[in-house]
Amino acid sequence: MKIFSEELVARAVEELHIADLSHATIGEVLLVAQYLEKATGIPFIRMDQGSPGLPVNQRGVEAEKAALDRGVGSQYPAAAGVAELKYEASRFVKAFLNVDVSARSCVPTVGSVAGSFGSFIACTQRIPGKDKVLFIDPGFPIQKSQLRVIGAEWVEFDIYNYRGERLRAKLEEMLSAGDIAAIVYSNPNNPAWICLEDEELKIIGELATKYDTIVMEDLAYFCMDFRRDMGHPFRPPYPPTVAHYTDNYILMLSSSKIFSYAGQRMALICISDKLFEKHYPALAERYNDAGVFGQTLVASILYMITSGCTASTQYAYAEMLRLSTEGEINFVEDTREYAVRAERMKRIFTDNGFHIVYDNDATERVGDGFFFTIGYGTMSGGDLLKELLYYGVSSISLSTTGSEQQGVRACTSRMREELYPVMEERMRAFKEDHPL
């Protein structure tokens, strides 16, 4: 039996002016869930928005308070970031990725969203005619929206059928046109939680060098491949990264998920030193500056977007990075709860006829973590999204992430202990109403 009637959901869609629920954005799905909860008092199982579901890191809070008490709030922060954060970022990248990036090339941004926005601008303007972005999908829909804002074009492909060595031919096909400025992906992946392996990252790195393309590697869920015992500073295993295979990279490191510091909007872009220092005449002409990639990105682009990052939050992030690098906090163990939730949630779905859509990496089963993907029989992703809403479960269709597969993305962050039996009951009802 459905929890919410079709009439009530239709009324919500109409009143919220949602054009097509099958292709609703995260924000639109969120509004529908909130509307239905408010109208009925019945709680939703929220699998839509990827907002942290763990307590904020208190060491960061203490460091931020201390910074405010020192009076940092009275001065504008430097556009390139406070020295303490840049130093600790460089150490952190070495400790947990075994990659050498100087403090100069580590730049704070107002969340990874601002980091990708500024990087897209710099990447697509550095060489005339090389102005498209390639998305290795599925991916984060907001990044494509950013390209709409700046008027840049993009191309994309779903990696589902191109794992391992098969990725090489597909990338060659896409890059050989010579107009791809940047390649973007997340690792672990939002929404599928697949992880690109070293063989695949080596292919991406080699071809990025061959075709002079910049790889933007989104590490929002850093070290959260819980199948491996990562998170020990200066000790393998390290998370795989394209930074081992090319100098054309920008790494995006957010504080939102690994430290649950999302509300303070703080991230880093860590740019290869060689790329940071590279001179581009087109940038010099456009911005009337030296045309040095890193300097232009920081002073002529990012500063125009946010005028720097909140000073006190930079000190908070610096302290959390420092404590991690020195082994005083283990952010990987702090976030392992997401894997526990994913395993339990997946079991409820699969016990009731659902299947995991992105179920494998190149050489092994996909792990458990912040996200997972589910499908049901031959139901399209849009139809599944709508049907789940009737049973009090919110999600987003994979079609909105660039995926060609049928299903929805599920996020584990808002799951609570008391909701597991509720989910079991609702999914049993779903199975009874939708026999396979």
Q: Please, which residues have CB within 8 angstroms of residue 241's CB and are 6 or more apart in sequence?
A: 97, 99, 187, 201, 217, 219, 251
Report d(CA 209, CA 198) in Å as an integer.
16
Query: Is residue 157's pLDDT more than 90?
Result: yes
Q: How confident is the model at residue 316 (pLDDT cuts 50, 70, 90)?
A: very high
Task: For domain 58-325, say whether CATH 3.30.1330.10 is its number.
Answer: no
**In 10 A of CB 73, how many CB atoms?**
12
- Mean pLDDT of all residues belonging to the chain: 96
What's the mean pLDDT in 392-407?
Answer: 95
At residue 224, the 3 state secondary structure works out as: coil
What's the mean pLDDT in 423-429?
Answer: 97
Query: Is residue 24's pLDDT more than 90?
Result: no
CA distances from residue 428 to 29, 96, 280, 423, 435 in whole angstroms, order as listed: 23, 43, 59, 8, 11
How much is the pLDDT for 369? 97
| CATH class of the structural domain 6-54+334-433 | alpha beta
Minimum mean pLDDT range among 20-34, 121-135, 292-306: 20-34
For the chain, first and last CA: distance in Å?
16
Domain boundaries, the chain: 6-54+334-433, 58-325
Answer yes or no: same fold for 6-54+334-433 and 58-325.
no
pLDDT tens profile 223-257: 999 999 998 999 999 999 999 999 999 999 999 99
Query: Is residue 1's pLDDT more than 90?
Result: no
Query: Is residue 21's pLDDT more than 90?
Result: no
Query: Is residue 388's pLDDT more than 90?
Result: yes
Query: Is residue 49's pLDDT more than 90?
Result: no
How much is the pLDDT for 23? 84
Dig out the tokens for 97 from the structure.
């990725």
State the helix-helix crossing angle for 83-97 and 311-325, rounded to 10 degrees: 30
How much is the pLDDT for 315? 98
CA atoms within 13 A on the CB side of 218: 30
How much is the pLDDT for 238? 97
DSSP category for residue 99: -
Do 387 and 243 contact (CB within 8 A), yes or no?
no
Query: Is residue 50's pLDDT more than 90?
Result: no
CA distances from residue 309 to 73, 108, 266, 302 in whole angstroms, order as listed: 11, 7, 8, 10
pLDDT tens profile 173-197: 999 999 999 999 999 999 999 999 9
How much is the pLDDT for 116? 98
